[in-house]
Amino acid sequence: MTPDTANGRAITIIGAGISGLSCGIRLAEAGFAPTILARDLPPHTTAQAAAAIWYIFAAEPVTRTHAWALTTLTEFYRLLDAGHGPKTGLSLCRMIEVFAEAQPDPWYAPHIRFYERVPPADIPAGYVDALHVELPLIHPAHYLPYLLGQFRARGGTIHQQEIRQLADIRQPGQLLINCSGVWAGQLADDPAVYSLRGQTVVIEAMPAINYLDESDIDRIVHIFHRGEDIILGGSAEAHRWDLSPDPALSVAIRERALAIAPQLQTARVLAEQVGLRPGRHEIRLEREDFADGSAIIHNYGHGGAGFTLSWGCAEEVVALAHAWHEDRRRAR
Ligand SMILES: Cc1cc2nc3c(=O)[nH]c(=O)nc-3n(C[C@H](O)[C@H](O)[C@H](O)COP(=O)(O)OP(=O)(O)OC[C@H]3O[C@@H](n4cnc5c(N)ncnc54)[C@H](O)[C@@H]3O)c2cc1C
């Protein structure tokens, strides 16, 4: 379908992170004419600091997140099967995940391409259970520019602009999509949003195990190979807002990884990164209608799962945008 501004198909999206770009692409594909307004563009959005794997962390409610995650998984597999791994920064990462308590099979086990339980004799010391899983891994430095390119190729436009309040830009009869991440608290006047600060350390690539341990939120361990480098994580500190890397935390992140893979001792540190996960008791994905005929579709609060839920949420945003147009047509 061709974007049709003349027939009221113009849509303004706030935010150029993983959420805003994924929505922009799907909306353009559905025949809308999206414009993104954003203060920060990649690589200066939250995604840049992310580890980032297809995995649900600090994102609710499960009654919606599982379906969104599966839609995203299907799209990641499609891109990989089409040979787009290198240009998108997507790969499949086989890793061990360790647990302090016995685990049932995870909900997604039937949907991923490799999964097996680690035999009791092979479970690392100090843990009760472990899984071998192969999950999509995303390198944000490649994936976000890929999304930007896809958005522009579908006719989408982007303006770098800071907005004080959504009310400042909302026009009668207009549809806005709010993908402002952790800043939705101010923009949409939503006190439920909080920062879940995360820090990661990028080091030189060298052979080591891929490893995931989220059994203790204060001592998260991620070791993920991204081809050109390895990303080490991590942290999750609620209500912390500073964006400068904390040197002591970087040392702790590296030491936890070295306890698992001592050979990484000689790997040079390439970067220390910080991002503010948009925390909320549950993701806000809903339409808000106003008396002047305008509406906002909110899509924020994805916590530590913004990549994982991205395509599923974007498709739901498109469905809500279609429904809004249909309601307006009926009301005329
Ligand atoms: C360390 C770390 C590890 C992570 N690991 C994973 C993982 O393994 N898997 C996973 O799925 N997710 C992971 N995440 C979470 C994921 O990165 C986030 O959920 C996601 O990046 C949020 O994206 P977003 O587009 O909603 O918000 P953001 O990327 O924060 O984008 C918000 C956009 O809104 C714009 N904006 C905000 N306020 C204004 C304003 N006033 N005016 C104009 N523009 C505005 C910003 O400029 C920006 O463009 C991780 C995050 C971190 C920090």
Question: Ligand 1 centroid to 307 CA: how many Å?
Answer: 9
pLDDT of residue 26 exceeding 80: yes
Q: In this structure, what are the phi and psi dihedrals at residue 305, rounded to the nearest 5 degrees?
A: -140, 25
Q: How confident is the model at residue 332 (pLDDT cuts 50, 70, 90)?
A: confident
Q: How confident is the model at residue 331 (pLDDT cuts 50, 70, 90)?
A: confident
| pLDDT computed for residue 53 by the predictor | 98
Predicted confidence (pLDDT) per residue in 204-231, tens digit: 999 999 999 999 999 999 999 999 999 9
| pLDDT computed for residue 269 by the predictor | 98
* Helix ranges restricted to H, 115-204: 140-153, 166-169, 184-187
Pocket test for ligand 1, best of 19, 41, 46 (most atoms within 8 A of CB): 46
- Regarding the beta carbon of 306 and ligand 1, being less than 6 Å apart is answered yes
- Regarding the beta carbon of 183 and ligand 1, being less than 6 Å apart is answered yes
Let me know: does 75 contact 143? Beta carbons within 8 Å.
no
Predicted confidence (pLDDT) per residue in 146-163, tens digit: 999 999 999 999 999 999
Sorted by where each begins, the domain ranges of the chain are 1-89+139-193+280-332
In this structure, the residue with its CA closest to atom 14 of ligand 1 is 304
Q: How confident is the model at residue 176 (pLDDT cuts 50, 70, 90)?
A: very high
- Regarding the beta carbon of 312 and ligand 1, being less than 6 Å apart is answered no
d(CA 19, CA 321): 15
Q: Residues of the chain with pLDDT > 90: what percent? A: 94
The number of angstroms, rounded, from the C-alpha of 107 to the middle of its chain's C-alpha atoms is 19
| Residues written for the chain | 332
Angle between helix 310-331 and 62-81 (nearest 10): 110
Closest atom of ligand 1 relative to the 59 alpha carbon: 19
**Chain-wide mean pLDDT for the chain?**
95
Burial of 106 (0-12, 13-18, 19+ CB in 10 A): middle
- Residue carrying the six token digits 């991620």: 222
Helices vs strands, H then E, count in the chain: 8, 15
Burial of 287 (0-12, 13-18, 19+ CB in 10 A): middle
Predicted confidence (pLDDT) per residue in 76-119, tens digit: 999 999 999 999 999 999 999 999 999 999 999 999 999 999 99
Residue from 51, 17, 23, 41 nearest 321 by CA:
23
Question: Ligand 1 centroid to 278 CA: how many Å?
Answer: 7
CATH number attached to the domain at 1-89+139-193+280-332: 3.40.50.720
